[in-house]
Amino acid sequence: TTWDQAAFAADLNGIRAYDDEKYLAARSHDYFWYSPILNEELKDLRGEFLVMPQTLDEVKHVASLVARHRVPLTLRGGGTGNYGQCVPLEGGVIMDLTRLDKVIEIKPGHVSVQAGARISRLDDAVRETGQELLMYPSTRQMATIGGFLAGGSGGIGSLRHGMLRDPGNVTHVKVVTVEPEPQIIELHGDEIQKVQHAYGTNGIVVEIGLALTEATDWVHTAALFDGYDKALEFATRAQGEGFDCYLLTAVERRFAPYYKKFGDLFPDDRDAIFAMVAPGEMARFQAEAERMGGRISFAMTKPEIRKTGLQPAYECGWNHTTLQALKVDKGWTYLQVAYPRPFDPQLVVRQMARYGDELFWHHEMARMDGEIQIFALPLVRYRGKEETYELIREFEEIDGCTIFDPHVVTIEDGGMKEIDDTQIAFKKLADPYGLMNPGKTRGWSADMARAD
C-alpha cells in the first residue's frame, strides 16, 4: 500500500481501531457469497485498517484523516449486503458505523436516528410509542438503517408503503463529506435520491429521518394451496381486494425441505403464502383462501411465533428464502427478477415448465410508484457464469422481465443500468478525492478527483 498506516493510527486520537487479520477478514465481507461469481472475485479482498467511531465528532475526525492521508474508505453497517457493497476493492480503511446508533427523536409520524442503529432496535424503540417503521429488510436483526438506505431498496412493508425511494418514506439525511475539513450536508425530499442506493460512494450518512405509521400487531400466517398457480392467484387477488398486509410472499412446495422447522405447517405437497396480516383482516383473509381451495396452516402473533421457535413470516420471504436454501444446499445461487405490470401468474407457470429442477420459485408482492409490483428471487442451480447470463437474457427477451443482477459489484451493472448523474455530481461535493468505496460506480473516473 502507499499510505502510512502508522501515521494514520497515530492521528486517530484514541478512536477505537483494529488492524489484526481476524477483525479485518470478518469486516471486509458481506453476503456476496450467494453468488459464486462474486465469491471468486471478492473472497480474498481485505481492508487494511478498521475504525469504529462512537460519535459524530469521531466520524468527522476519521473523514478528515482519510482525506488528508488520501486512503480508500469503505463504510460498513451490518455487513448484510448481497453484492459485495462493503468489500474494500482497493484496501484502505473500513469504517464500521454500528456504534453511531442513537435514536435521536421519536415524534408522532416521524423518527430521527443515527445511521448505524440496527433496524430491529430502531423498530423496537418506535413500537414503544405505538408506531412502527414503514418497511425493513428481512435482515432487520443485523442490518443498520444507514446500510439499508445506502445498499437496500425495500422489503417487508413495501407491499403497504412502497419502496424506500418512494416519496415521503425517508424525510431527511445528514451526510458528512470526506475532506480535510469535513462538512455536514443536509438533504431533504427528493434530494435524498443523491445518496439512496449509492453504496456509500458519496458521503457518510450519519443521520436519517423516517416516516412512521401507527403500529399493527401483525398476524404471522401461512395459507397453503394445491398448486403454485393457485397460491399466486390468491396473492394477486388479495392485493386487488386491498387486504391490509405488511408482507405477502408466495413460496413453492420444493422449498419445504429448507423450512424444516415448520414441519406439517408447510408440507412438501402444498405451496405456501407466508403473510403478515392485520388482525382485523384475518377472517376475510382466511375466507378468501378457503374459497380458493386453500387452508390456513397457522396464525400467530410475533411473541407466539418466538415461543414456538419458528421463524417470523418475514424470515420466510425476500432473500431470507435464499439463505434457508443455501444453508442446506450450497449448489444454489439466485437472481432478482421484476415482472412486467400487470402481473400474469401464467407467465410464472410457463417459466416453471421451462426450467424444471434448475430453478425453484418464490415471489414477493410489493408496491412501486404506487402500483403493484411483483418480484421473484428464484433459486438458480449454478452452472457457470455464461449459463447465468444466458438465463438472464432469456428472462429479458422471452418474458419481458427486468433483472437486477446480483452477480456484479457496481451500482450500474446491478440494475440501475445507467450512471446516475445526480449521484456523481453529489460525489464531487461529498467525496472530492474519490476515496469512497472505489470501484463501485462506473460513473467516477480518477481524472474527476480534485487534484490539490
Q: Is 162 in the site for ligand FAD (CB under 6 A)?
A: no
The DSSP secondary-structure symbol of 318 reads: H
**Phi then psi for 406, rounded to 5 degrees?**
-90, 20
Site string for ligand FAD, 300-339 (x = CB under 6 A): ------------------xxx--x----------------
State which residue, 146 or 294, has the beta carbon closest to ligand FAD: 146
DSSP one-letter string for 68-80 = HHT--EEEESS--
State which residue, 84 or 294, has the beta carbon closest to ligand FAD: 84
Q: Is 143 in the site for ligand FAD (CB under 6 A)?
A: yes
> What residues have CB less than 8 Å from 40, skipping those under 6 apart?
none
State which residue, 196 or 351, has the beta carbon closest to ligand FAD: 196
List residues bridging with 318 in a β-sheet: none
Residues 72, 92, 151, 162: which binds ligand FAD (CB under 6 A)? 151
Residues 53, 91, 146, 406: which binds ligand FAD (CB under 6 A)? 146
State which residue, 221 or 437, has the beta carbon closest to ligand FAD: 437
Note whether 148 and 97 are within 8 A (CB). no
State which residue, 297 or 410, has the beta carbon closest to ligand FAD: 410
**Residue 242 CB, nearest approach to ligand FAD (Å):** 23
Note whether 49 and 9 are within 8 A (CB). yes
Footprint (CB under 6 A) of ligand FAD, residues 379-438: 437
Nearest 5°: CA angle at 129, between 133 and 99? 65
Residues 137, 162, 294, 438: which binds ligand FAD (CB under 6 A)? 137
Q: Which of the stretches 14-22, 37-45, 153-161, 334-342 binds ligand FAD when contact is defined by CB under 6 A?
A: 153-161
Note whether 282 and 219 are within 8 A (CB). yes
State which residue, 199 or 343, has the beta carbon closest to ligand FAD: 199
Can you tell me the distance from the alpha carbon of 384 to that of 365, in angstroms, rounded to the nearest whole number?
Answer: 29
Note whether 339 and 375 are within 8 A (CB). yes
Q: Which of the stretches 148-156, 236-244, 401-409, 427-435 binds ligand FAD when contact is defined by CB under 6 A?
A: 148-156
State which residue, 294 or 414, has the beta carbon closest to ligand FAD: 414
Which residue type, as a one-letter code, is found at position 237?
R
> What residues have CB less than 8 Å from 290, skipping those under 6 apart?
296
State which residue, 224 or 273, has the beta carbon closest to ligand FAD: 273
Note whether 448 and 428 are within 8 A (CB). yes
Residue number, nearest CB to ligand FAD: 147
Can you tell me the distance from the alpha carbon of 415 to that of 56, in angstroms, rounded to the nearest whole number?
Answer: 33
Q: Is 155 in the site for ligand FAD (CB under 6 A)?
A: yes
Residues in the chain: 452
Can you tell me the distance from the alpha carbon of 354 to that of 356, in angstroms, rounded to the nearest whole number?
Answer: 6
State which residue, 8 or 334, has the beta carbon closest to ligand FAD: 334
**Residue 94 CB, nearest approach to ligand FAD (Å):** 9
Which residue type, as a one-letter code, is found at position 167?
P
Q: Which three cell numbers stand for residue 96?
A: 464500521
Footprint (CB under 6 A) of ligand FAD, residues 194-233: 199-200, 204-205
Residues 154, 157, 312, 443: which binds ligand FAD (CB under 6 A)? 154
How many of the chain's residues bind ligand FAD (CB under 6 A)?
38
The DSSP secondary-structure symbol of 196 reads: T
Site string for ligand FAD, 20-59 (x = CB under 6 A): ----------xx----------------------------
**Residue 204 CB, nearest approach to ligand FAD (Å):** 5
State which residue, 122 or 222, has the beta carbon closest to ligand FAD: 122
**Residue 43 CB, nearest approach to ligand FAD (Å):** 16
Residues 67, 86, 248, 313: which binds ligand FAD (CB under 6 A)? 86
Residues 85, 336, 423, 441: which binds ligand FAD (CB under 6 A)? 85
State which residue, 289 or 436, has the beta carbon closest to ligand FAD: 436
State which residue, 148 or 360, has the beta carbon closest to ligand FAD: 148
Can you tell me the distance from the alpha carbon of 296 to that of 382, in angstroms, rounded to the nearest whole number?
Answer: 34
Can you tell me the distance from the alpha carbon of 313 to that of 305, in angstroms, rounded to the nearest whole number?
Answer: 9
Which residue type, as a one-letter code, is found at position 227?
G
Residue 152's alpha-carbon distances to 80, 85, 99, 267, in angstroms, are: 10, 10, 20, 32
Core vs surface per residue 63-76: b (16+ CB within 10 A) or e:
bbbbbebebbbbbb
The DSSP secondary-structure symbol of 140 reads: T
CA 175 to chain centre: 20
> Which residues of the shown chain bind ligand FAD in the complex (CB under 6 A)?
30-31, 74-82, 85-86, 97, 115, 137-139, 143-144, 146-148, 150-155, 199-200, 204-205, 318-320, 323, 437
